[in-house]
Copies of this chain bind each other. A is one copy, B any other.
Amino acid sequence: MTHPLIKQWLNLKQKTHHCLCIGLDPDINTLPNGYEKNLEGLTHFLKDIIDASILECIAYKPNISFFEAYGIKGLLVLESIVKHIDNHIPIIIDGKRGDIGNTSAMQARYLFDYFNADAITLHPYMGFDSLEPFFNYKDKFHFVLGLTSNPGSKDFEELPLANGKTLAATVIETISHWNQTNHNIGIVVGATENKLKQARDIDRDLVFLIPGVGKQGGSYENAYTHGKNNQGLALINVSRAITGAINNKKTVKVDTKDAIQAILNQL
């Protein structure tokens, strides 16, 4: 069984010839010239980026925390951005949720029913019943944190367990098992060769959402080579290497396309 979102991503990959997910982590302070330094300017900027890239990516990943940082008015911007994105491009709302079951059910309502996200990101710590209310949204897709590439991944994720494996490896194996039910779960894996290989060795079919490409140091080529699954799919997220490459409002179309090409030319 192939999940409808996996089919959609594979179709988009066939059209665009790559697996680029564009991260939207907006910051008023770094808006290019020509945009007012306020939430209206931010909204225009994000819509311009989307218009310039809609045929060149397979997903958008708005990071809800960057909108929340502006309070409720920031969330209104997210709402308007999500509505602006064409229906044929899946939206991953990155919010790293997860809590006891009755609370997780509320989080799912917010992200899936209210914001209409196609996919989200989750924390594994509290185990299966903390994530089941999300997984029960069968038509949606759920990326659980697996193995990240931040320095703190050493603190817990890379600890060796009594079973001889690391915590992250065991988390990924467990997710791989959970995924047999609805086939609607993937994992988040950091964009280093070593981490991607470790995760890929555990399950060749799981879809990886891969942050950390671009300004965070990872290359698109590396991420694709080591992160793609058996179907040739991965969601390789690039945020600031695209949104930070715009010189001003007048050149946003060309600058967006150039930034995307610069990332992809790594492949």
What residue in chain B is nearest A155 (Cβ atoms)? Answer: B127
Q: Determine which of B63, B123, B160 lies in contact with A125 in the assembled complex, contact meaning CB atoms within 8 Å.
A: B123
Q: Which of A86-132 contact B (CB under 8 A)?
A: 94, 96-104, 106-107, 109-110, 114, 123-131
A160 adjacent to B161 (CB under 8 Å): yes
Given contacts A68-B110, A69-B109, A106-B65, contact A124 B127 (CB under 8 A): no
Q: Which of A117-162 contact B (CB under 8 A)?
A: 123-131, 145, 148, 150-157, 159-162
A65 adjacent to B125 (CB under 8 Å): no
A110 adjacent to B63 (CB under 8 Å): no
Chain B residues, Cβ within 8 Å of A160 = 161-162
A76 → chain B closest CB, angstroms: 6
**Chain copies in the assembled complex:** 2
Q: Is A8 engaged at the interface, CB distance under 8 Å to the other chain?
A: no
B76 adjacent to A72 (CB under 8 Å): yes
Interface pick from A33-41, A45-53, A167-175, A255-263: A167-175
Residues of A within 8 A of B (CB): 25, 63, 65-66, 68-72, 75-76, 79, 94, 96-104, 106-107, 109-110, 114, 123-131, 145, 148, 150-157, 159-164, 167, 170-171, 174, 211
A-B contact pairs, 29 of them (CB 8 A): A25-B102, A63-B106, A65-B97, A66-B103, A68-B106, A68-B109, A72-B72, A72-B75, A72-B76, A75-B75, A96-B99, A100-B148, A100-B211, A124-B125, A124-B155, A125-B125, A125-B157, A126-B150, A126-B152, A126-B156, A127-B150, A128-B152, A130-B152, A156-B170, A156-B174, A159-B167, A160-B162, A162-B164, A167-B167
